[in-house]
Structures are given as structure tokens and as C-alpha cells.
Amino acid sequence: MRNSHLTPGVVPGRLSPDDYHDNFSDKAPPFDAHEAAVAADRCYFCHDAPCMTACPTTIDIPLFIREIQTGQPKAAARTILEQNILGGMCARVCPTEQLCEEVCVREVAEGKPVEIGRLQRFATDALMAAGGHPFARAPETGKRIAIVGAGPAGLSCAHRLAMHGHDVVLYDARAKPGGLNEYGIAAYKTVNDFAQAEVAWLMGIGGITIETGKALGRDLHLDTLRGTFDAVFLAIGLAGVNALRIDGEETTHIRDAVDFISELRQAGDLSKIAVGRDVVVIGGGMTAVDAAVQSKLLGAEHVTMVYRRGRERMSASEHEQDHAASKGVRIITGAVPVRFIGKDALEAIEFRYTEETPDGLRETGQTFRLKADQLFKAIGQSLDGAPQGLDLCGRKIAVTGPGRTSLPNVWAGGDCASGGDDLTVTAVAEGRDAAEDIHAQLMV
């Protein structure tokens, strides 16, 4: 590693080529066949499997692990993909430690669960490497559905509708499909351009057309889509980024964490990504963790996450918090930023401590400062420009049942819709379930 601490300011090229390669290699390398067999052999194959109940897509986990144990990884993959068509990505990014693995009987009894996520990756990778597509389309129905947003919910919905014989046009505002899988997840979690490889594999079902660079409200209008297609599914995500509302927020080197992560994910050369020597990340969720860890991996000397509430209230899992700490990220809780210090560029940030009270969060008046030449904001996102005529629930599109909105023949799912956790696996489930409801209504 170069002496990155000797280089002041926000600069690229802090590390050697070998350091970039090592730091951004696969976070959790895949099992080989022997490792998968050993891991599968630990499963009790519970009849009333709590892991299935904990999975938002209700994958038959005991069955697919049994299939791996008996030397049938492709059959295991089909079992997974029948419920979760993005099972490969979810195997990489799902917080399994909070879902299926947390309730695993072996975790409860021994403190070490069956490694369900890595077994899922082993199976789905084996099937994708073999080529071909495990599902076939039903006879064409003549029905056409527009899906706006090619993230996890949109892709899941598109695939299921195509399986039922419908024709789907999938629109996305960005240059590539994939949504957060492509633009919003730490680079070391999905190496080798896996997001695009998975999209290409998914498209093997046929019947799906993707049009990129098409944004709702700019290039597409809901009224027009409703008049042109038999149904519309909105999976537009949360494009708006919450502001800190502090004077000086436009100071140089203060930016949104989601933009930083997106830039890093699309970079052909990581040495071109500028990073500070003293980086601060505001927030306590997965985006904050990904921004903080990747800042450290890019060569930042000091990286600090600051969250306004206690550590137990952070939405990032304990596993991810521990991962950040293992990479040298410092986590400060119970504090909020109140002032940016620096004339032409950021130099420091003043914080005020907070405390929980019966009336909510309160600032104590005590302050401290952190030296900072770069700040990333990761304090949540909001729906940006919801189409008129749709009822909202808070800051999201209101839905009932399997994604039905207040407008006839319009469904919504994923992060833009009310209900559920903002997780890739939840979005996949919502897209799948909306597709089944759309199909049922169109075929009446």
C-alpha cells in the first residue's frame, strides 16, 4: 500500500494496483463442490423449516439443500429460482444473517447456522454456468404489460409475466438495467459484472424487451402507458435523496452516498475514483456501510460513520456493522451534524450529541468536531415525482394486496411501494406476486 496518509485532500490513486485488486475481490468466495457437500450435510431438513418462513420469497430451503447434498445442484437451482428468479444476486447480497440463517435450528442450538446463502450461490452459479434457461414460456396470450423500472421488482415481475405468455416492455431511466443490483450495491459484493450477467440470463425466457434511458415523467407518462398497454407495473425505486438541511451543504466534497457507490460500481479503473484522507459518512443503513467500507478500501486513512440514534437502531445488520469495523471504520452513535467547517472545501464537521427521551430524540447541547475532507450523506431516499392520480402512503405509493394501486390496471412494487422491507429479496417477492395478480386479472 502506498503512504496514502501523506496525500492531502480528495484525490484518486491512493493505492497500488494490487491493493485495488485485493480490496475489491469477491467478499465471500464461492463454495467448491466438496465444500458445498459438507455445508449441505449440516442441514437437519426440518419438516416445519423456520428458514422457509423467514425467507421473503419462501424458497423451499430444505429441499434445495437436500438436492445439493445428493449431487443435483442444477435441480437445487431450479427449486430456488421457481420462487426467486434473482436467486443468484440474493445469495450475494441478502442479509441472510437476519433472515433464514438467523432462525436456522443449528444457529439456535450451536451458534453456527447452515450457510444457506453460500449454498444458494453454489446452486444458482452452477446452473447459470451450464447455460440455457430452466423455464419455458406459456403460449402467447396477446396481452402487453409495461413495467417501469428494471430493478429487482421490475425484473422479477417481467420474468413471471413472460413465463405466463405475456409480452413485456421493460423501461428504465438509466443506461443499464438492474437498478440497485447494478448501481447501488458495494462492488466487492457482486464482482465480475454479475448484475448484467444475471439480467442477460433472465432475458433468456423470451418475450421481454428492455428500453433504457426512458424515465417516467420525462419520456414516459402513466396516462399514455395505461392507454397503450393492458397493465402497468411501477418499480421506479426511490430516486430522491434526503437532505441534511444544514447551511453549507453544497460545500465541495459533500455528496450523496448513493452517487458515490454508483460511480464506483461503473468505474472501469478504481484508481480514478477520488477519495478523501478523512472521510465521514452520515447514516446507519446499508448504504452508509457500503460507502464507508469502500472509502476505506479505496485508501482513506480515517473513515467514521455517524448515526443519530443508538447502535441497536441502525438498519444495517449487526453482521454488516461488524464487517465495517473489521475494515477499520469507526462508528459513532447518538450524534447529528450541525455545522460544516471550511471556506472553499470541507475541513471539519461539528456534531451535537443526542439522547432518546419519551418525547423522541433530543439534542443535548454538547458538541464535538471531526476532521473531514469528504462527507457522504446516507440518510435515506424518497419517492421522486410520483405520477398524479396515485394515492400515497407517507412518501411511497400506496398499495394493497399484491401491489394494487388506487388506479385500475396499475400495480407497484419494490422500494417505491408501501409495505415491506427495502431489500432486494423483498422487491423480488413483490414483483413476482404482482405478476401473478396481473396475470389472473388479465385472463378473466
Tell whether 403 and 418 lie within a shared domain: yes
Domain boundary pick from 346, 377, 408: 377
Say if 13 falls within a structural domain: no
Tell whether 412 and 310 lie within a shared domain: no
Say how far apart CA 332 and CA 309 lie, in whole Å: 9
Say if 54 falls within a structural domain: yes
Say how far apart CA 87 and CA 57 lie, in whole Å: 10
Tell whether 53 and 117 lie within a shared domain: yes
- The residue behind cell 502506498 is 2
Tell whether 253 and 308 lie within a shared domain: yes
How many domains is the chain partitioned into structurally? 3
Q: Where do runs of H (alpha helix) occur along 211-317? A: 222-228, 257-266, 286-297
Tell whether 251 and 365 lie within a shared domain: yes
CATH of the domain at 293: 3.50.50.60
Nearest CA to 437 out of 235, 237, 238, 232 is that of: 232
Please tell me the predicted confidence (pLDDT) of residue 331. Answer: 98
**Which residue type does 402 have?**
P
Domain boundary pick from 377, 408, 427: 377
Please tell me the predicted confidence (pLDDT) of residue 74. Answer: 96
Cα–Cα separations (whole angstroms), residue 12 to 134, 277, 372: 44, 11, 17
Domain containing 156: what range?
144-239+383-442
Tell whether 368 and 400 lie within a shared domain: no
Say if 16 falls within a structural domain: no
**279 in Cβ contact with 376 (< 8 Å):** yes
**93 in Cβ contact with 185 (< 8 Å):** yes
Say if 24 falls within a structural domain: no
**198 in Cβ contact with 180 (< 8 Å):** no
Say if 39 falls within a structural domain: yes
Say if 8 falls within a structural domain: no
Tell whether 248 and 296 lie within a shared domain: yes
Q: Are strands 278-282 and 396-397 parallel, antiparallel or unpaired?
A: unpaired
Q: Are strands 374-377 and 381-382 parallel, antiparallel or unpaired?
A: unpaired
Tell whether 258 and 344 lie within a shared domain: yes
Tell whether 231 and 276 lie within a shared domain: no
Tell whether 291 and 397 lie within a shared domain: no
Nearest CA to 198 out of 48, 305, 88, 321 is that of: 88
SS3 442: helix
Tell whether 343 and 223 lie within a shared domain: no
Domain boundary pick from 130, 160, 192: 130
Please tell me the predicted confidence (pLDDT) of residue 90. Answer: 97
Cα–Cα separations (whole angstroms), residue 246 to 243, 280, 340, 372, 382: 8, 15, 8, 16, 18
CATH of the domain at 84: 1.10.1060.10
pLDDT tens string for the chain (444 positions)?
455 656 789 999 999 999 999 999 998 889 999 999 999 999 999 989 999 999 999 999 999 999 999 999 999 999 999 999 999 999 999 999 999 999 999 999 999 999 999 999 999 999 999 988 999 999 999 999 999 999 999 999 999 999 999 999 999 999 999 999 999 999 999 999 999 999 999 999 999 999 999 999 999 999 999 999 999 999 999 988 888 989 888 788 999 999 999 999 999 999 999 999 999 999 999 999 999 999 999 999 999 999 999 999 999 999 999 999 999 999 999 999 999 999 888 999 999 999 999 999 999 999 999 999 999 999 988 888 788 899 999 889 999 999 999 999 999 999 999 987 889 999 999 999 999 999 999 998
Tell whether 39 and 114 lie within a shared domain: yes
Say how far apart CA 204 and CA 136 lie, in whole Å: 9
**273 in Cβ contact with 14 (< 8 Å):** no
Say how far apart CA 86 and CA 434 lie, in whole Å: 16
